[in-house]
Amino acid sequence: MAAGILVFGESDQGKIRKATLEALSQARVLAPTLSGPVTAILLGPGSAAAAAQAAGADRAMSCEAPALANYSGEPYLAAVLAAVSEVKPAGIFFSGSTVGKDLAPRVATKLGVACVSDCTGLAVADGVLEATRPVYAGKAIATVRSKSTPFVATLRPNVFPVTAAPPPSKVDALAFDPPAPKTTVKAVHRAATARAELTQAQVIVSGGRGMKGPEHYKLLEELADEVGAAVGASRAAVDAGWRPHADQVGQTGKTVSPTLYIACGISGAIQHLAGMSSSKIIVAINKDPQAPIFQIANYGIVGDLFEIVPALRDEIRRRRNG
Ligand SMILES: Cc1cc2nc3c(=O)[nH]c(=O)nc-3n(C[C@H](O)[C@H](O)[C@H](O)COP(=O)(O)OP(=O)(O)OC[C@H]3O[C@@H](n4cnc5c(N)ncnc54)[C@H](O)[C@@H]3O)c2cc1C
Written in H, E and C, the secondary structure of 305-316 is: HHHHHHHHHHHH
pLDDT at 157: 86
Burial class (CB in 10 A: 0-12, 13-18, 19+), 72: middle
Cα of 209 to ligand 1 centre, how many Å?
Answer: 6
> Which domains are assigned to the chain?
5-173 (3.40.50.620), 203-320 (3.40.50.1220)
Which residue puts its alpha carbon closest to atom 43 of ligand 1? 286
pLDDT at 52: 97
Which residue puts its alpha carbon closest to atom 37 of ligand 1? 210
Cα of 273 to ligand 1 centre, how many Å?
Answer: 10
The answer on pLDDT for 120 being more than 90 is: yes
pLDDT tens readout for residues 124-149 = 999 899 999 999 877 899 999 998 99
Name the average pLDDT for the chain: 94
Cα of 267 to ligand 1 centre, how many Å?
Answer: 5
pLDDT tens readout for residues 172-206 = 999 888 888 888 888 888 777 778 889 889 999 99
pLDDT tens readout for residues 211-223 = 999 999 999 999 9
**Ligand 1, pocket residues at CB < 6 Å:** 208-210, 234-237, 248-253, 265-267, 269, 271-272, 275, 285-288, 291, 304-306
Cα of 228 to ligand 1 centre, how many Å?
Answer: 24
Contact 174, 115 (CB under 8 A): no
CA distance 7 to 239: 36
Cα 170 to Cα 54, 68, 153, 266, 284, distances in angstroms: 10, 21, 25, 48, 47
Highest mean pLDDT among 25-39, 129-143, 290-304 belongs to 290-304
Cα of 287 to ligand 1 centre, how many Å?
Answer: 13
pLDDT at 82: 97
Which residue puts its alpha carbon closest to atom 52 of ligand 1? 271
Q: From the alpha carbon of 250, which atom of ligand 1 is closest?
A: 8
Percent of the chain with pLDDT over 90: 80
